[in-house]
Structure 1
């Protein structure tokens, strides 16, 4: 099957190739093609890119780590693979409204059959997760998402949240965040997905967003101790972060001011900044001899 595709590739795969390249690829056998690939690793990457965008996401997740070990590492390779994964995710996980439209005429028996299949895949993913097989668990949850009918929104919400947990264990932070948001979109009252997203926001220094999620959790369930503790802790951290950023900004402005004032025999020491404790506003006063004032 693979050799047939090489001898008569689709029209879009020939874009940018010369006619001579096509003829040479047809005239050479598998051994010659293999030798050519060994001398030109980038051509292999290009082939991987086309195949990964056409295959289902599950296959991509199963094999891309193994494939990476044979690739020649070049600048930008990691970003290229991330882009391929994002594209595959967009192709396989379509908009929920669009999926609902596609399933409008699906028989109820078929929906129930698919739901049972997705449940089995979810349970398989849960077992893999417990064993620490996070990549396998992610793959099982992905397959379950593809099978589960869009009409079962809470089921799909759980699947996205579970996959987020598996991706968190693999430090796939942005993908995990996306899954959490999808789970919350499908079920806004899903506490576990909200907590996971809040944890990811906090991990990526998005403290304001994390605080909002923790507040939402407390509004829905005041008994969640972790959310209450975070709501007490994060405001102080946010204030400290803002003060740190303010200090860094003032330091940079001071350096810039000294650079501008130096030709005139002045420095930022000639300008005293005072903060009004009652209003928090700042005032600037010019001082002719700042060193004399310190005596």
Structure 2
């Protein structure tokens, strides 16, 4: 009995054996769970970043005016007259906010307000939309990088209201600022068909033609210079240059003939 009892002290009970076997198992399970949790956390963070990136991309991709108008066409079909009037009033409120921002020199914010107004104002209110485009053009004109876009807004305003003198004047000014003098002159002439006494337009149609002629002469000189350089390259292998040729105008017909001069020996 005593020997048996002593021997049993050296043996582990079933509970101890089970505890020892499961200790390592528990430890390994905890490590696996921790790794899985870490992996899941990493994936979640990437998912969030991806979502934020997608949101940023969506915000950066502003729809075009044509795309907005297509959406408005579909939307307006389901609106009652009262609902359209309500949206027009909302757009008017945004326009007024834009006007106030413009007066304070906050041109970028003003552009945003006019854009929001254009995105909700029903297409049936063409006069109101024309003014919104013209006002947005005025704000864009104050931003050096937005002048071409401002010209496009003026054009939209004119398409919606073909007798919109202020839009013609604004576009003419922008054309002149961007060195599109011919287009500016045409717009100023158009203004005079609506208002023959318009001071700025009358001054412009006297001021611009000499500037256009001066520009054209400069361009012609530059073009002839480049043609001369090219001609000298072509003629050089033959021992000739453009100096060997002279254009002579016929006083009667106005046409030109080419006279050849041989190099002196």
TM-score by length of 1: 0.68
Matched, 1:89 2:96: no
**Is this contact kept in 2: 1:154–1:187, CA < 8 A?**
yes
From 142, 151, 176, give the equivalent of 1:177: 151
CA gap of 1:248–1:279, structure 2 versus 1, over 3 A, is farther
From 226, 230, 247, give the equivalent of 1:252: 226
Aligned equivalents of 2:245 and 2:232: distance in 1?
Answer: 11
1:20-65: CA deviation from partner (whole Å, max 9, x where unpaired): xxxx99651666678xx7xxxxx8996366322xxxxxxx6xxxxx
| 1:272 positional shift | 1.1
Aligned equivalents of 1:279 and 1:48: distance in 2?
Answer: 69
Pairs aligned (count): 227
| 1:214 positional shift | 1.0
Aligned equivalents of 1:240 and 1:31: distance in 2?
Answer: 63
Partner of 1:118: 91
Q: Which has the higher helix share?
A: 2
Aligned equivalents of 1:45 and 1:232: distance in 2?
Answer: 57
**Is this contact kept in 1: 2:88–2:121, CA < 8 A?**
yes
Partner of 1:273: 247
Matched, 1:47 2:54: yes
1:112-139: CA deviation from partner (whole Å, max 9, x where unpaired): 2112111111111111100000011111
Question: After the TM superposition, which parts of structure 1 deviate over 3 Å for at least 4 consecutive aligned residues?
Answer: 24-27, 29-34, 43-50, 98-102, 275-281
| 1:280 positional shift | 4.8
Partner of 2:7: none
- The RMSD of aligned alpha carbons is 2.9
Partner of 1:160: 133
Aligned equivalents of 1:26 and 1:163: distance in 2?
Answer: 48
| 1:223 positional shift | 1.8
Highest CA radius of gyration, 1 or 2? Answer: 2
SS for the counterpart of 2:69 is coil
1:239-274: CA deviation from partner (whole Å, max 9, x where unpaired): 222211111111111111111212222111111123
- Write the mapping of 1:1-295 to structure 2, written as runs, cut at 5 A: 27-28=41-42, 47=54, 50-52=57-59, 84-85=61-62, 88-90=63-65, 93-95=68-70, 99-100=72-73, 102-171=75-144, 172-276=146-250, 280-289=254-263
TM-score by length of 2: 0.76
Aligned equivalents of 2:98 and 2:135: distance in 1?
Answer: 9
**Is this contact kept in 2: 1:121–1:141, CA < 8 A?**
yes
Aligned equivalents of 1:277 and 1:202: distance in 2?
Answer: 36
Aligned equivalents of 1:116 and 1:209: distance in 2?
Answer: 35
**Is this contact kept in 1: 2:69–2:123, CA < 8 A?**
no
Structure 1: gaps spanning 5 or more residues: 1-23, 38-42, 53-59, 61-83
